[in-house]
């Protein structure tokens, strides 16, 4: 028989002595039910970003795209999207993807 203090503690902290049932069902890797390649993922990021830049400052990227700072920023963006997309696709970059550089 449970003690009154135990019951109050269970109510206060939201736990019980009952054993939870667990399943061994594998989690779904992609909520959309599709496999996303790292190249498709990166293309999606970069094309969306390019569209945004075109709307925000139509001439900006053409005037300053040859400066070192902008080249470094694009390189950092490419590295960041590669890392993100590796996790989304669950795939490691192939040698062809590692050589992909956004210019």
18-56 pLDDT, tens digit per residue, is 555 555 544 445 555 566 677 777 777 888 888 777 776
Instruction: Please tell me the total count of domains within the chain.
Output: 1
Does residue 41 belong to any structural domain of this protein? yes
pTM (2 d.p.): 0.35
Is 42 inside a domain boundary? yes
Judge whether 11 lies within some domain: no
| SS (HEC) of the chain | CCCHHHHHHHHHHCCCCCCCCCCCCCCCCCCCCCCCCHHHHHHHHHHHHHHHHHHHCCCHHHHHCCCHHHHHHHHHHHHHHHHHHHHHHCCCCCHHHHCCCCC
The answer to whether residue 69 is domain-embedded is yes
């Amino acid at each position: 028989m449970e003690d009154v203090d135990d019951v109050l503690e269970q109510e206060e902290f939201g736990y019980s002595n009952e054993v939870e049932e667990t399943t061994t069902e594998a989690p779904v890797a992609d909520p959309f039910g599709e496999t996303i390649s790292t190249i498709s993922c990166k293309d999606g990021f970069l094309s969306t970003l390019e569209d945004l830049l075109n709307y925000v400052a139509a001439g900006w990227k053409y005037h300053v795209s040859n400066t070192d700072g902008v080249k470094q920023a694009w390189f950092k963006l490419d590295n960041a999207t590669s890392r993100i997309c590796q996790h989304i696709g669950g795939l490691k970059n192939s040698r062809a993807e590692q050589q992909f550089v956004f210019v």
